[in-house]
Amino acid sequence: MTTPTFRSDITVELVKHNAADTDVLFAARVSTGTKTLVGETGDLAKRDLGLINYLMRDKHGSPFEHNSMTFRIEAPIFVIREWMRHRSGWSYNEESGRYTELKPVFYIPSLDRKLVQEGKPGRYTFVKGTAAQHEIVSRVMEYAYQEAYEAYQVLLDAGIAREVARSTLPVGLFSSMYATCNARSLMHFLGLRTADERATFPSFPQREIEMAAEQMERFWAQLMPATHTAFNTHGRVAP
């Protein structure tokens, strides 16, 4: 039997991109033929920055769609299932348990992951767990994962098809996917999947998907700094 491995991190890699602040400007000015004023250093002119802010503030969203970013994500299945609720402006391809034997890599919350929910639905908060609670989470999860993967292997060894045998596996199993989006769809994702004090409409994301969102935002901020700044200035609401 293969021995399971356990991890607490979620990884996001920027695979390729065609995304820059100038994409927003060219798209916005196509109807008038007005020039985008990019200096020799690549910096945007004040008028260009003003246009990006105007578009963001007044919710003229389509100019933010003329770009593309593709990410490779490794995350537990429960994160990927939540992620795929974002449909507009997103494309996905995920690792298939029908065509490949799934590796025994499973999610265990790290020690800084808050474990205890307090309050009623819609008005609850999470607080840090005790050392004993963290210990039981790790111990019970590791046991459950190992039993589930052993069951999966027993079925495979008996000649059962992978697409049937995978039913024994839990949502804490790591999967991988390619996810492609544009800046507008990413902003909508970030508005819902990050908790940020600058947000006009506070969000309360599950921590695991927020871990991925934070990594994506760092990549995007490097590619489109003016757009990212305008997003934060105007309450982290997608136009």
CB atoms < 10 A from the CB of 23, how many? Answer: 22
Residues marked active site are found at: 193
Is the distance from CB of 11 to CB of 79 less than 8 angstroms?
no
Angle at 84 between CA 213 and CA 122, to 5 degrees: 70
Helix, strand or coil for residue 105? strand
Q: Is the dihedral of CA 208, 212, 213, 215 positive or negative?
A: positive
Angstrom distance (rounded) from CA 212 to CA 203: 15
